[in-house]
């Protein structure tokens, strides 16, 4: 199912100081076809894998974090792919990025607004919906 993607919003802290994890993509992965600088953890759903299985696997591969509880938020057809969105407030570990990303940030809603164009409207809107 290479046309499906599973993304997750990982939370840290409590409202109104709650923050979400975003990942800065490695320069070589930013292209005209995929121009977004900032991303949510997650990625493609592999053949034989459910979107939920993909989100657990991708988070661990990209960040070394182990997600313990996940909730489905939404799914949307965007950019030629079906994207499943999840969130979690329960995870363990220390961030250790894979070669796919060069930085990570915990941002609140106000900080996220300043990079809206770099994360994309779809991801921005899903994150803001969850934060509000």
How many helices (DSSP H) and strands (DSSP E) are in the chain? 4, 7
The architecture of the domain spanning 4-131 is Alpha-Beta Complex (3.90)
Between these two residues, 32 and 40, which has the higher pLDDT value? 40
pTM of the model: 0.91
Domain boundaries, the chain: 4-131
pLDDT digits (tens, 9 = 90+) for 14-28: 887 889 999 999 988
Angstrom CA distances, 68 to 30, 35, 47, 77, 126, stand at: 30, 31, 23, 26, 21
């Amino acid at each position: 199912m290479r046309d499906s993607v599973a993304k997750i919003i990982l939370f840290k802290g409590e409202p109104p100081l709650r923050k979400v994890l975003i990942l800065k993509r490695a320069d070589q992965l930013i292209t005209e076809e995929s121009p977004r600088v900032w991303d949510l953890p997650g990625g493609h759903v592999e053949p034989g894998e459910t979107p939920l299985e993909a989100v657990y696997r991708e988070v661990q591969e990209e960040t070394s974090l182990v997600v313990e509880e996940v909730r489905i938020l939404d799914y949307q057809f965007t950019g030629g792919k079906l994207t499943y969105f999840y969130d979690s407030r329960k995870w363990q570990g220390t961030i250790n990025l894979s070669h796919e990303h060069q930085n990570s940030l915990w941002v609140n809603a106000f900080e996220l607004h300043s990079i809206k164009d770099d994360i994309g409207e779809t991801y921005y809107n899903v994150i803001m919906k969850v934060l509000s």
